Amino acid sequence: MASPGTLKYDTQPLYIAGAHHTTSQTFQDIDPSCDRPLADICKADKVTIDTAVEAGKRAFPSWSATPPMERSRILLKAVALLRERNDDLARVETHDTGKPFTETSTVDVVTGADVLEYYANLIASGGLNGETTQLRADAWIYTTKAPLGVCAGIGAWNYPIQIALWKSAPCLAAGNCMVYKPSEFTPLHALKLAEIYTEAGLPAGVFNVVQGAGDVGAMLTSHPGIAKVSFTGQVATGSKVASAAAAGMKYVTMELGGKSPCLILPDAELENAVNGAMMANFFSTGQVCTNGTRVFVPESLLPAFEKRLLEKMDDIRPGDLMDPNTNFGPLVSKVHCEKVTKYIHHGINVDKAKLLYGGLGKLSLPKGINGDGYWVKPTVFTNCTDSMLIASEEIFGPVMTILPYADNTPLYVDTLIKRANGTPMGLAAGVFTSNIDLAHRLVARLEAGITWVNTWGESPAEMPVGGWKMSGMGVENGRRGLQNWVQNKSTLVEMGGVVASVFEKVERAKL
C-alpha cells in the first residue's frame, strides 16, 4: 500500500446492493504513464462474491417484472448522466489505461453510452417481443423471451467503461441483474458506473461490482447462482472460462482476441489504405482487439505504400496524455509492456523481419514527460511471411507486420484469401479496393465476424460484433446482441382439442 496522500484516488470499495462495500484485502492500481500507484482497490473474496450474487438474486424478481418502458426510462437517465460527465469519466480512463484524453473523451465513454441508449430504445420499441406462427386454422405458436437471471460480466483492460457498458446495457435492458468484474489493471471506472446507475434510479442489486484478478473471475464463473458469463479477454482465458461455465450449463458470450488481416488490393486508393492500416495498428497504442495487424500489400504497390506510411508515422505523437495534441500513450501495464517488447525483439532477432520503423529502445518523449511508464515505439516490420511469430500471434501492441503478395498472376486473389484466412482466429478483416464488386466477393470469403470495406475500426451500437473460430462465441451490440441475454419460451395453443390421440377408445367391431 502507498503512503497516504500519494495516490490520485481514494481506496475504491466494491459496489453491492446499491452501496459501497469494503473488504480487508486490497490490491494496487498503477498509472501506466509513470509506473506510480493510482489507488488501492478492495479485493473480493468468496464471501463477497456470494453477497453480490445474492444481491442480484434479490433484485431480479422485481427488475425482470418491471415493464420494458420503465426500465428504458431509467437506462436513458443513466445515458444522460454518462454524457454529462463524459470528460470526468474520460480523465479517469486516461489515468487508468494510459490512453490519451483525446481518445477517451471522444470514443470510450461515448461509444459505451451509445450502446446503452440503443438498448434502452430497443426494449421500449418491441425489441423483446416474440413471434406468432399460425400453425393450423385452430392452432398457433407464440414465443416469449425471458431474462436469464443474475449474469456475470468479466472485462478486459483496453476499453474499460465501454466494455462494462456493452455488457451491462443489453443485460439490464433484458431484465437481468449483473455482477461485473473489471480487469484488475483498470478497475477505476466500475464504481463510477455503478453510482451513475443508482443515481439514474436503477434498483439496488441490479448492477454490482466486484474487483480482483483471475481468481475472482473464476469464482464468479463457477458460482451456481450465475446464469450467464459474458467475457472479454484473451483466447486462452476465454477457453478456461467457457469450460468452467459449461460445467454449470451456463450461457456464455466470448469476445476474444484476433490476428486480423487487412487486405490492400492493387487498385486501392493509396491515402485511404495507408490511413486504414495506421488506424488498424496504432490507435490506442495498438491495444484494440479488432486490429488489422497482418497488412497484405501487393508487390506492385509496396514501395509507394511504405513511403507514404513512413511519412505518416511521424504524425504519431506521444506526450502528456491530457494534451490535445497527444495521440499515442503507453501500454497498459508492465507485464504487457514486457510481452510486446519480447515480440519486437523476436521479430528483429528470430523472425528476422525487415524493421521499417521503431523497434527496441526508449521511445523519445517530449521534455518534462516522465519516461518511467510503459512506453514502446510504434513499430513496423515489412517483408514478413505468414509463419513468422510476429505475423501469427496476437501482440496487442503498436506492431504492424506488412505481408507483401504477388499480384501479377491470374489467381492471386485466391492465394490472398487463403493466406488471410490462415489463422485459428477470426475476429475481424478488411478490404481496401476501388472495385466494390470485388470487395463484396472478398468479404464473402473472409472467415471473420466483423468486416470492413475501405475503412477500419468503427463499431457503432447498431452493428452486431463478435468473432468466428477461436475469436469468440455470440455477438455484442445490434438487435442480435439483445438475444444473447434472454431465453426463449415457445407455446403451442390448440383450440380444436387433442388430435389423433393413440389413446382414443377403438371400437372392436370396426377392426
Which residues are known to be catalytic?
A: 167, 255, 289, 476
Among 48, 208, 211, 237, binds ligand NAD (CB under 6 A): 237
Nearer to ligand NAD, 215 or 269 (CB): 215
Nearest CA among 248, 246, 354, 234 for reference residue 287: 234
Instruction: Kindly write out the interface string for residues 108-147 of this chain, putting x where it contacts ligand NAD by CB under 6 A and - elsewhere.
Output: ----------------------------------------
Q: Is 209 helix (H, G, I), strand (E, B) or coil?
A: strand
Least distance CB 156 / ligand NAD (angstroms): 3
Q: Interface with ligand NAD includes 98 (CB under 6 A)?
A: no
The span of 79-87, 107-115, 237-245, 304-312 binding ligand NAD (CB under 6 A) equals: 237-245
Nearer to ligand NAD, 15 or 157 (CB): 157
Among 31, 93, 108, 255, binds ligand NAD (CB under 6 A): 255
Instruction: Kindly write out the interface string for residues 179-198 of this chain, putting x where it contacts ligand NAD by CB under 6 A and - elsewhere.
Output: --x-xx--------------
The span of 77-85, 113-121, 251-259, 368-376 binding ligand NAD (CB under 6 A) equals: 251-259
Q: Interface with ligand NAD includes 155 (CB under 6 A)?
A: yes
**Cell numbers representing residue 30 in the block:** 498503477
CB-based burial label for 325 (10 Å; 0-12, 13-18, 19+): exposed
| 31 contacts: CB under 8 Å, gap ≥ 6 | 8, 37, 38, 95, 96, 98, 373
| 468 contacts: CB under 8 Å, gap ≥ 6 | 426, 427, 447, 448, 449
Q: Interface with ligand NAD includes 339 (CB under 6 A)?
A: no
For residues 215 and 181, what is the distance between their CA atoms, to the nearest angstrom? Answer: 11
Which amino acid is located at 468 in the chain?
A: W
* 29 phi, psi to nearest 5 deg: -100, 135
Q: Write out the binding residues for ligand NAD, residues 263-322 only, by CB under 6 A.
A: 289
Among 233, 286, 329, 347, binds ligand NAD (CB under 6 A): 233
Nearer to ligand NAD, 329 or 404 (CB): 329
For residues 186 and 192, what is the distance between their CA atoms, to the nearest angstrom? Answer: 13
Neighbours of 411 (CB within 10 A): 7
Nearer to ligand NAD, 234 or 300 (CB): 234
- Taking 3-state DSSP, the helix, strand and coil percentages for the chain, each rounded to the nearest 5, stand at 40, 20, 40
Contacting residues toward ligand NAD, per CB under 6 A: 154-158, 181, 183-184, 213-214, 217-218, 221, 232-234, 237, 240-241, 255-258, 289, 394, 396, 427, 467, 472
